[in-house]
């Protein structure tokens, strides 16, 4: 089958248009100041929980204010272990705007008058009608089950939200270069992604990322699992030495999302994994297997890690004779009876 007949392929390739809309919508929104809250909780399910992990780390890094990420189901069923009496802002993230756990968690949060709610979604649905502030990105909508374009668009939005709430207009301005940089990275490294993904000599993938990148590592790991049914796991860089490295051999791919601040320590982990026989792939702003060369500050260019790794999973799925648009046992939206 021609790869262009797959929704997933077209959604990955066109995602920078959704990035641009995410920036426009977020920058046009009236957002609160970080100083108005004692705590910010980011919540979602599946991919958007992983997005929340990345968002909470970024928010705390930029604002110096406390933030945490919690799955929608945990916020709903175990809210006492999550929420305190502090003034809280809840940022609820959902591609569809109809995911049951997230919707019910937001309804409960509002009924208990816990604080304000920001919703980030690709659809104007029931979730957005429970929000004080809505950031809706229609260009991130998808036909396929596995999130690619939608995730990236919402991640750009939440990155801009964090920068704006921190009062960092310089970072918001720099993010305007993301769509152009993303197009360049996709065009330059698609064939590299294809060669890795189609190599059936690999039977396990490990994605390493720390701080704001850990949530992104979790997400690209999920894409590899969903689309290709391949053993895949995410880890913080230094944690990988504490047991998981025992799985590294000539059949393993170890992907590292390098930061600027901790590159020396992170690169050392990759060097050690290469010595154990693993195939190592480094992504970074410069001097890497996939360099971005974007000129965008480290804290707000995280979305650039995603497209090539999404393409790697897509090409592996096709090479294994699977349908990347419709992964096994999955639906685009999880709806439950409560």
Residues paired with residue 194 on neighbouring β-strands, in sequence order: none
At 337 the pLDDT is: 73
At 336 the pLDDT is: 66
Residue 280: φ, ψ to 5°: -105, 135
Average confidence (pLDDT) over 154-182: 98
Q: What percentage of residues in the chain have a pLDDT greater than 70? A: 97
At 330 the pLDDT is: 64
Q: Per-residue pLDDT tens for 149-161?
A: 999 999 999 999 9
Measured N-to-C along each axis, helices 306-319 and 149-165 cross at an angle, to the nearest 10 degrees, of: 160
- Given a contact cutoff of 8 angstroms between Cβ atoms, the answer to whether 178 and 185 are in contact is no
In 3D, which of 42, 44, 106, 116 has the Cα closest to residue 76?
106
Quick check: 138 pLDDT over 80?
A: yes
Quick check: 329 pLDDT over 70?
A: no
pTM score over 0.85: yes
Q: Per-residue pLDDT tens for 248-272?
A: 999 999 999 999 999 999 999 999 9
In 3D, which of 207, 73, 93 has the Cα closest to residue 147?
93
How buried is 293 (Cβ within 10 angstroms: 0-12 exposed, 13-18 middle, 19+ buried)? middle
Quick check: 192 pLDDT over 70?
A: yes
At 1 the pLDDT is: 67
Helix, coil or strand: residue 328: coil
| Encoded tokens for 72 | 């929608």
Q: Per-residue pLDDT tens for 42-82?
A: 999 999 999 999 999 999 999 999 999 999 999 999 999 99
Question: Nearest-5° angle of CA 21, CA 172, CA 37?
Answer: 100
Average confidence (pLDDT) over 214-221: 98
Q: Per-residue pLDDT tens for 90-110?
A: 999 999 999 999 999 999 999
Average confidence (pLDDT) over 187-204: 98
Averaged pLDDT score across all residues of the chain: 96
At 328 the pLDDT is: 73
Q: What's the rounded Cα separation, in Å, for the pair 90 and 109?
A: 8
With bands split at pLDDT 50, 70 and 90, how would you rate the model's confidence at 332? low
Quick check: 295 pLDDT over 90?
A: yes
Segments in the chain forming alpha helices (H): 7-13, 15-28, 47-63, 72-77, 100-111, 149-165, 169-174, 178-197, 212-228, 263-275, 306-319
Cβ partners under 8 Å of residue 55, min gap 6: 42, 67, 69, 91, 93, 155, 158, 159, 161, 162, 215
Quick check: 210 pLDDT over 80?
A: yes
Set out the domains of the chain in order of their start, with CATH numbers: 3-176 (3.40.50.10490), 178-319 (3.40.50.10490)
């Amino acid at each position: 089958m021609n790869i262009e007949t797959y929704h997933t392929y077209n959604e990955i390739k066109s995602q920078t248009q959704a990035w641009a809309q995410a920036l426009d919508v977020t920058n046009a929104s009236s957002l609160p100041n970080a100083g108005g809250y004692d705590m910010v909780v980011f919540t979602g399910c599946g991919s958007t929980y992983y997005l929340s992990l990345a968002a909470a780390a970024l928010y705390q890094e930029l604002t110096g204010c406390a933030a945490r990420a919690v799955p929608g189901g945990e916020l709903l069923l175990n809210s006492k272990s999550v929420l305190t009496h502090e003034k809280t802002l809840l940022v609820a993230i959902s591609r569809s705007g109809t995911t049951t756990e997230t919707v019910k968690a937001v309804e409960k949060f509002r009924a208990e008058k816990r604080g304000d709610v920001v919703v980030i979604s690709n659809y104007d649905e029931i979730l957005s009608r429970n929000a004080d502030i809505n950031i809706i990105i229609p260009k991130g909508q998808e036909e396929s089950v596995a999130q690619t374009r939608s995730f990236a668009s919402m991640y750009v939005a939440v990155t801009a939200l964090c920068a704006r709430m921190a009062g960092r207009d310089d970072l918001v301005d720099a993010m305007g270069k993301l769509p152009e940089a993303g197009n360049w990275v996709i065009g330059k490294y698609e064939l590299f992604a294809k060669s890795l993904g189609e190599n059936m000599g690999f039977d396990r993938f490990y994605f390493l990322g720390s701080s704001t990148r850990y949530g992104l590592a979790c997400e690209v790991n999920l894409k590899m699992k969903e689309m290709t049914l391949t053993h895949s796991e995410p880890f913080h860089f230094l944690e990988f030495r504490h047991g998981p490295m025992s799985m590294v051999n000539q059949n393993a791919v170890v992907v590292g999302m390098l930061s600027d601040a901790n590159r020396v320590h992170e690169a050392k982990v990759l060097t050690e994994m290469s010595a154990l026989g693993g195939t190592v792939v480094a992504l970074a702003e410069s001097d890497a297997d996939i360099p971005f060369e974007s000129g965008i500050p480290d804290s707000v260019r995280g979305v650039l890690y995603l497209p090539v790794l999404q393409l790697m999973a897509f090409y592996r799925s096709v090479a294994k004779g699977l349908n990347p648009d419709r992964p096994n046992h999955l639906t685009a939206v999880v709806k439950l009876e409560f």
